[in-house]
Every structure is written in C-alpha cells, then in structure tokens.
Amino acid sequence: MDLNDIAFAQRQRLAYIDFCLLFRGHLTRTDLLNKFQVGLSAGSRDFAMYKELAPQNLLYDPARKAYLQSTKFVPLFEHDSRKTLTKLAHDISDGFDAVGDIHFPVEAPSQLNVPDIFIVARLVQAILNNKAASIIYTSLSSGSAAREIVPHSIVDNGLRWHVRAFDRKSQSFRDFVLTRISKVTVTDQGSQPGEQKIEDHQWVRMMPLHLVPHPHNVAQPTAIEMDYGMENGALKLNVRAAMAGYLLRRWNVDCTEEASLRGGEYQLYLENRQTLYGAENLAIAPGYAV
C-alpha cells in the first residue's frame, strides 16, 4: 500500500505513531486517542494500518499496554532534522511535517550544521525515559572517544545544536555538539544522584541581563530600541547561566567594563556586566574579562 493512497487525516495519525516510536521509543493507544480525539475503533485501525505498512517497527508489550520501538525500526516517514528540532524546541511533537506542511514564503538563515535525525531521536529517548546514553564523541582537544552521559536538554545556541548532559568521565555538566556525536546507545541505567537536571547549577541559575543601545557605536539608539522591543531604553532578559555566553556572542553584545569595543556589529552593550559573575562559558562573550 502506498502512503499517498491513504487519507490525509489518517496519514497524520500514522506519522504521529512513527514520530513517537522514533523519539520516545513507545506509544499507547490512549496517547493516540487523546492526541486526535478519535474513537477506540479508529485508533485500532490506525495501529493495524501502521503494522501492515511497517511490521518490523513495533512490538506490543501486554504488561505496559504499549507499543514499543523494535530493534529493526526504520522510520516509515521522512522526518526532517531541522524542522523536527525546531518543533521540539517549541514543545511541538506531532511529526506532521513528514506528511507535508503548508509552505509559507519565509526563509530562515541556514545553521552551520544539521544533526543526524537518529542521533537526535536516541538522545531524546534517553531524556524522556531518564536514561544514560553511551556515545562516540569527537572533541577538538582529544579526538574521538567513547563517553557515557546523562542528557537532560537539547539546545539551540543560535549557531548549532547541542545536548546538555552530565558527563560521567569528567563528573560535570557539559555541552556536546550534536554533529560531533557519531553513535548513541541508550542504556538501561537511570540517572544517579547528582546527575539530574536540577543538579546542573549553571542550567538552573537564571541571570538577569540588561541590554542597552551601544553608547558609542549607535548614532540613533531609538532604532535599536525598536529592533529589540526595549522599554525605557533597555531590554531586560532572564537567561540561564549555561546559555548566557551563547546569547551574548550571537547578538554581539559588548561586555567590556566601559563599552570599549568599536565596530558596527556591536550595537548592544551589557549594562549590568556584574551579573555574569560565576557563569562558566564567558570566553565567547565579546570583550568579557574577569
């Protein structure tokens, strides 16, 4: 049977089944019914149809009353990495882009890289199921090596995607660039004390940033105020300490003590730079020095 011969509404439900198996590793009939507000018989037909189209993709676990991703799973639909990551970042988990979204005439700047969808899927599975993951990671300093991490968040830093995770090798929370991960295996081990997101102090800590038009590089500060929706001449943000450096670099915010960076790219100045004390990734913040 060809997917294009199936009614669009049912294709959406099949894509949702496919998406959940890929990214969560499991799905119940109740999940499907609640998502689409369909009856029990319609839901049963959808699972039967999915199994007919991809019999190797799922197994039924009577104890959990859930369908599980099989070891032979191959996605029935093509899930675009960039669209899926963007949707996940906004808490949208439907898989609908795989059946043909409306194309709007809006373009976004290309990111430096596009992560492998299967790498992303396994990391999301580990996060949602509170499991550790074994990965092969290539770092700039030590090359390729096996590591065991406990991931808690997938992050878009404005330039590329990374996973925030506890690294059991260094016994610390770190950022791992997704495109530098070549293999992921979700383990049966759960997180241990000290490895959970709540223990990631750089992630939990929120830092107030007060951004103002650069006092030397901007001739018409009102234009900058309009660009960033400033109120009373300032934009006040609360940012995770783990993300502060990325934001300041992406927006080219002058972080020097006396707004001493020159150049048209520096249109913003960090008015309360003392707030950065204790943040760990400030080497990339423009002009910041302790």
Model confidence, pTM: 0.82
For the stretch 121-178, pLDDT in tens is 999 999 999 999 999 999 988 899 999 999 999 998 888 899 999 999 999 999 999 9
- Contact 164/106 with Cβ under 8 angstroms? no
Q: Which of 156, 176, 199 is the endpoint of a domain?
A: 199
Res 83 pLDDT > 90: no
Whether 95 and 11 share a structural domain: yes
Residue 273: give the domain boundaries: 205-284
Can you give the CATH number for the domain in which 193 is found? 2.30.30
Whether 142 and 215 share a structural domain: no
For the stretch 216-245, pLDDT in tens is 999 999 999 999 999 999 999 999 999 999
One-character DSSP codes across the chain: --GGGS-HHHHHHHHHHHHHHHHTSEE-HHHHHHHHT--HHHHHHHHHHHHHH-TTSEEEETTTTEEEE-TT---SS---HHHHHHHHHTT----GGGG-----S---PPPS----HHHHHHHHHHHHTTEEEEEEEEETTTEEEEEEEEEEEEEE-SSSEEEEEEETTTTEEEEEEGGGEEEEEEEEEEPPTT-SGGG-HHHH-EEEEEEEE-TTT-S-HHHHHHHTT-BTTBEEEEEEHHHHHHHHHHTTEE-STT----STT--EEETTGGGGTT-S-GGGSTT---
Res 271 pLDDT > 70: yes
Domain-embedded: residue 107: no
Whether 229 and 189 share a structural domain: no
Domain-embedded: residue 253: yes
Whether 57 and 11 share a structural domain: yes
